[in-house]
Amino acid sequence: MAAPSEKSVGKGAMETGLKRTPSDSVQHGEADSDADPAVRDFYTGAVNENYRMKSALIAKHLGEIGMGKFQWILFVVNGFGWIVDNFWSQGITAIRPPIGNEFADIARLSFSSVAYYVGLIVGASFWGTTADLVGRKPAFNATILYGGVFACAVAGVRNFTGFCVLWAVIGTAAGGNVPVDSVVFLEFVPQTHQWLLVSLSAWWNLGQVIVSLLAWVFLARFACPSTDAPCRMQDNMGWRYLMITLGVIAIAFGLIRIVAFKIPESPKFLISKGRDAEAVEAVNYIARYNGRPETLTLDMLRAVDRHCNAGSSEDDGVSSVAAPVEADVTPGGSKLSHVEILRESFRDYNADNYKKLFAGRKMAQHTSVTFLIWLTVGMAYPLYFAFIPSYLATKETYSANTSLDHTYMVYCIVSSAGVIGPIAAGFCVETRFGRRWMMAASAVMTGAFLFAYTAVGTEAADIGFQCATAILGNFEYAVMYAFTPESFPGPVRGTGTGVAATLLRVGGLVASFVSTLISNIIKPSKTQQPSSITIISAKMTGIDYYERLTTVCTLDNTRLLIPLAVSYIVGYLQYTYVIRLTLREGKGPMPFWMHSFYLAHDSTWSYLLGKAATQYGEHWFLRGTSTALFVWTMLEIWSIHRALTKEREASFASVLGKQPSFSSALTYAVALQLAMYSVVVLGIELMGRGCLIQWFCLTNVLIVLGPTHHYLRAGSRQGLSLGMCIVNIIGTIWTFTPFGFPVLIIPEIFDTPAYYAVGGVLTMYSVWDNDATFDRSTCASGWLTVRDIAIPQKSPISQSSAAYLAPMPPVPSQPLPRVITYYQTHHTPDGKPISILPLLTQPGISVTHVILAAIHINDDCDGLTLNDHAPDDPRFLTLWAELRVLQASGIKVLGMLGGAAQGSYGRLDGDEARFEEYYVPLRDMLRSRGLDGIDLDVEEAMSLGGVIRLIDRIRQDFGKDFIITLAPVAAALLNPDSNLSGFDYEALEVMRGREVAWYNAQFYCGWGDCSSPVMYEMILAKGWSPEKVVMGLVTNPENGGGWVPWEMLGAVLLTLRGRYARFGGVMGWEYFNSLPCGREKPWEWAMWMTKMLRADHTHHSPGPVQGTAPVDTSNPVAKEVKKHLVDEVDPDGPNSKDAPLPASFDYYSDTNWDDDDA
């Protein structure tokens, strides 16, 4: 049941307080001033007839005074309250990180939020109640001022306890700030401008912008890093500067309210207390301030008293107005003193105001629902916004720039975007949808965006979703803050709004406890699993159709090309017919909302397909569709422009009323367009970035459900012809046809036998065409060539796309899980070789692969280097000899090409001649060194076609047993936009998965998280097989960010090994300084990994590492190749495999290490 509204009062409601005019609507908010029976029924028991009639009389005279100088200044001064309220909410959030770096007595940092919310609860309940007992003015003047004073005081505290106490006091001020201010503004503005109460929330967002900018200035420059915690006060002054600045601004705002712009007490509060003479003076004060005549007299209010006394039979028995007439004057004729007013106000306090909120069934329903909304929003909103700064600073998509400057820059962008929400809300609530529908719609869309926000993977998408949720969330907040005081009658307005604000703060307090609880519970553990939401989200977004389109959309696929061509032609026919009708009839055949939707749909997909075309080698279908959608986007823009300029009344009258203004139509169009973009973006995020075919089907269903049905009903009247209907139907069917989605025959459209027949024929053709087009076996006709394939149980694409998947490579000969180590640092600083042989000779180690890093292709095609030197440099004699020992013992040795050094892949990504020029020396080097495989670490832009050519050529030159691996960042296996390679790994797996043995996914340096199994399992949930995903780790914090302590990492690895029998294993970057023993005994990392993952495959029985003798190079493998070191030996010559081991070299061993210590 909607609460009534002051908007529902008729303009000629009352001349003297005696005449009644029923309202036309009770949809917007409060109507305690109306004598309408519906309103009286709603507020039964909350207010009586006397107050209602006096309130209507005051509202009438305020309307006659109009929106003048007083109200506009009040709009600004009232906005100070919103600004300061957000000062404290955002301020405590902004300063929590530097506080945590300074105070040493912090038990839980979130206790500061708890203290603040306790203060907010006390303040909201106290100021809200006293606003109905003592008056609005004391709270209006006091809350800003003393909040600012204590904010300055916070800057001087030296311990966390004092910090929390002062924030609790600030909370008592902030708790009553906006609730009372909204009541004050509502009771001073004419009903025609009550929508400004919604737009007042824009000031709240302005407060957030101010805090963001000041935090950017102070916290980014005058704060100590967390690595120095706890730090000295003088090194961490930024948060103090911030609080002093905010406090001074708040004090200045408070002084302006008290000294520069004095407001009278609310006339509606005064009449509720029987102080009629003061109410008359308050209204006339506003008239004088605005330069308008003083029309309200005390006799008019007394006439209401006489009328009500004469009709006492209508009294509902509830006294909502104190004894009137002379109650505000002493017997001597002087006004009551402030003390006497307080005494009179509190004398009858007996919780009646709370009871009146639930007087009557409808009033009780409304109050309950309103309070529930405030409580739930109070829990959800802080949980999201309170942690934005710390979230932005740690989110992996910001790994390129995690500075405080960048963090607060983004915070400022999001805060500024939020200002749009309340301004748009102010216009939208004046449409026929009103407050309730606008609030409901914005709440649903906000929740949907917050859910979708968890799936973003790029910085641009991250910021975009934050801005969208800020706009929508503040839109909802603005309507909620306006609707609530409007919907409660004047005598209990302060109490109702105060209780609602109290519940909002209770929700925030619960949120603080929840965040504290979560911080204790959500820690990586042996049994931690990804949530069902995470897995579902990963599965929903895991479908990517781009590579399927590029695979099946070939010029020899006639069966597919025919319906595609028809779809394009029909689409252009649709728009051609629309334009023709629009120009001929003066009005387009589509409703305006469809133009908005198709603008969002066409422009979004034009961009996405254009981006995909670049990524997939400018494929003709992707580029062509992108271009077509761009053309259609321009047509939609033209249609929308024409609707706004030429067809405004026809397009918007149903929403905005007759003869809508251009500004209102434009505002509606912008708001609707944002909503349509929201729907499209949300759908794409949930369905997967390549879901264009599903989208085309859905949008063409709209064409069927929308205008086509209208065409059939209208016949050929007003230019709506049967021809257009048929074009739409055929277009819809043909769009479904190429990809086999079910054709929908909607009875309300095919309402004649002829239409049923046409629809049935097209449906049967679609089924046949689907079967022929996507037959998994080879088509004898030659129209389509698709190889018979083996379908793996799990793959990067859903089972529905099995027809385009290449089979997995054979299970590698080395048993799973793999233990892989990268070997890039080959020498100590003084030139001494760092031996890799302890991986073979030390007990308890079962390494499966060693990857030699890093091979670089340089400008000189013959100038191939291993790190900085030619592979045949004498410094590598020991290295090549030791690697052959490893190979002879069954350990596979691969070479890594590329890495962080740029250029190798760019040189291989050119035309055929350039490719050959640079590839041949690489091939020759791999052959001469007898490596078992190559690891392609592509950390620069390379096309998908380029990497496929490289893989195909390697396979052609080295045969089926040569191991080819890639080393993407882990995030690239979840989102193609989050990688360093420039191509989509999922597309590569689809096209060349049979050639790639596995992926050494880098779970470090901000691109992944191996502190729990969650991210690895998200990759598996997307369809990747566990045997093909190796978890890449840094072996030492010196080697990059993301190092995980042993006890935590052990739990993760044991969990993955226990859950997945085909777990791909781990790789470590890199060998020479691997912990736990670092440079002294780097092989112990491999020993530790062996114990975790391969206890059954060790060369020796596992056990504690003991001191051993020097490495014995006379073991059977080494004995076959050991000779004295001779300078003349050429490792590249015919006897290279017999290259000697240097006898003079003492390998690192436990004994060597002990001797060195001794």
Q: Mean pLDDT score of the chain, rounded to an integer?
A: 71
Q: Containing H/E element for 891?
A: none
- 788 in any annotated domain: no
Q: Which of 1078, 1095, 1112 is the last residue of a domain?
A: 1095
Q: What is the mean pLDDT of residues 19-45?
A: 45
Same-domain status, 516 and 569: no
The answer for residues whose C-beta is within 8 angstroms of residue 678's C-beta and 6 or more apart is 445, 448, 449, 468, 472
Helices (H), 1001-1065: 1014-1021, 1046-1059
| pLDDT bracket for residue 567 (50, 70, 90) | low
pLDDT, residue 970, reads: 92
pLDDT, residue 451, reads: 66
Higher pLDDT, 364 or 842: 842
CA 277 to chain centre: 55
Higher pLDDT, 254 or 508: 254
pLDDT, residue 700, reads: 56
Overall number of domains in the chain: 3
User: What confidence tens digit (pLDDT) does each residue in 1082-1113 have?
Assistant: 999 999 899 888 765 444 333 333 333 333 33
- Residue 911 maps to which CATH number? 3.20.20.80
- 235 in any annotated domain: no
- State both tokens at 463: 């910021």
Q: Is the pLDDT of residue 855 over 90?
A: yes
Sign of CA dihedral 101, 103, 104, 110: negative
| pLDDT bracket for residue 335 (50, 70, 90) | low
- Residue 141 has a CB neighbour count (10 Å cut-off) of 15
Q: Is the pLDDT of residue 292 over 80?
A: yes
Q: Which of 521, 537, 562 is the last residue of a domain?
A: 521
Same-domain status, 554 and 509: no
pLDDT, residue 262, reads: 83
Residue count of the chain: 1158
pLDDT, residue 813, reads: 42
Highest mean pLDDT among 451-465, 514-528, 700-714, 1001-1015: 1001-1015
pLDDT, residue 1091, reads: 86
Same-domain status, 435 and 578: no
Same-domain status, 689 and 594: yes
Q: What pTM does this model have?
A: 0.43
pLDDT, residue 95, reads: 87
Same-domain status, 940 and 833: yes
Q: What is the DSSP letter of 827?
A: B
Q: Is the pLDDT of residue 53 over 90?
A: no
Half-sphere exposure at residue 637, Cβ-oriented, CA atoms within 13 angstroms: 8
Lowest mean pLDDT among 153-167, 323-337, 689-703: 323-337
Higher pLDDT, 925 or 485: 925
Same-domain status, 853 and 976: yes
Cα 990–995–1000 angle (5° rounding)?
85
User: What confidence tens digit (pLDDT) does each residue in 971-991 have?
Assistant: 999 888 888 888 989 889 888
- Residue 518 has a CB neighbour count (10 Å cut-off) of 12
Rounded Cα distance between 357 and 43, Å, is 9
- 1119 in any annotated domain: no
Q: What is the DSSP letter of 969?
A: B
Rounded Cα distance between 1020 and 999, Å, is 13
Rounded Cα distance between 536 and 538, Å, is 5
Q: Identify whether the C-beta of residue 866 lies closer than 8 Å to the C-beta of residue 876.
A: yes
Lowest mean pLDDT among 61-65, 488-492, 961-965, 1069-1073: 488-492
- 688 in any annotated domain: yes
User: What confidence tens digit (pLDDT) does each residue in 96-145 have?
Assistant: 888 887 887 776 777 787 788 888 888 887 887 777 778 888 888 888 88
Q: Identify whether the C-beta of residue 452 lies closer than 8 Å to the C-beta of residue 682.
A: yes
Same-domain status, 584 and 728: yes
- Residue 419 maps to which CATH number? 1.20.1250.20
- State both tokens at 827: 């020498």
- 966 in any annotated domain: yes
- Residue 130 has a CB neighbour count (10 Å cut-off) of 22
First to last CA, the chain: 86
Rounded Cα distance between 1073 and 925, Å, is 28
pLDDT, residue 427, reads: 76
Q: Containing H/E element for 351?
A: none
Q: Which of 1062, 1095, 1128 is the last residue of a domain?
A: 1095
Q: Is the pLDDT of residue 417 over 90?
A: no
User: What confidence tens digit (pLDDT) does each residue in 927-957 have?
Assistant: 999 999 999 999 998 998 899 999 999 999 9
User: What confidence tens digit (pLDDT) does each residue in 767-801 have?
Assistant: 444 444 333 322 222 222 222 222 233 333 333 32
Same-domain status, 616 and 512: no
- 706 in any annotated domain: yes
Q: What is the mean pLDDT of residues 1037-1064?
A: 87
User: Is residue 360 packed enough to be buried (19+ CB in 10 Å), middle (13-18) or exposed (0-12)?
Assistant: middle
Highest mean pLDDT among 147-156, 358-367, 1104-1113: 147-156
- 429 in any annotated domain: yes
- State both tokens at 140: 């209006």
pLDDT, residue 963, reads: 95
Q: What is the DSSP letter of 808?
A: P
User: What confidence tens digit (pLDDT) does each residue in 813-835 have?
Assistant: 457 899 999 999 998 888 889 99
Rounded Cα distance between 934 and 920, Å, is 14
- Residue 693 has a CB neighbour count (10 Å cut-off) of 17
Percent of the chain whose predicted confidence (pLDDT) is above 70:
63
pLDDT, residue 710, reads: 52
Q: Identify whether the C-beta of residue 95 lies closer than 8 Å to the C-beta of residue 239.
A: yes
- Residue 346 has a CB neighbour count (10 Å cut-off) of 11
Q: Is the pLDDT of residue 1129 over 50?
A: no
Same-domain status, 508 and 559: no
User: What confidence tens digit (pLDDT) does each residue in 461-498 have?
Assistant: 777 877 888 888 778 877 877 777 777 776 677 677 77
- 675 in any annotated domain: yes
The domain containing residue 488 runs over which residues? 361-521
Lowest mean pLDDT among 6-10, 169-173, 790-794: 790-794
- State both tokens at 46: 């909350």
Same-domain status, 611 and 656: yes
Sign of CA dihedral 840, 846, 849, 851: negative
Same-domain status, 1052 and 904: yes
Same-domain status, 686 and 610: yes
Which CA distances in Å does 874 have to 211, 390, 605, 858, 880? Answer: 62, 51, 57, 20, 10
Q: Name the residue among 202, 101, 151, 163 with its Cα closest to residue 404.
A: 101
Rounded Cα distance between 349 and 414, Å, is 45
- State both tokens at 162: 């004092």
Q: Containing H/E element for 843?
A: none
Q: Is the pLDDT of residue 228 over 50?
A: yes
pLDDT, residue 22, reads: 35
Contacts 24+ apart (CB under 8 A), 725-729: 727/570, 727/573, 727/574, 727/577, 728/574, 728/703, 728/704, 729/704, 729/755, 729/758, 729/759
Q: Identify whether the C-beta of residue 48 lies closer than 8 Å to the C-beta of residue 320.
A: yes
Q: Name the residue among 911, 916, 957, 912 with its Cα closest to residue 934.
A: 957
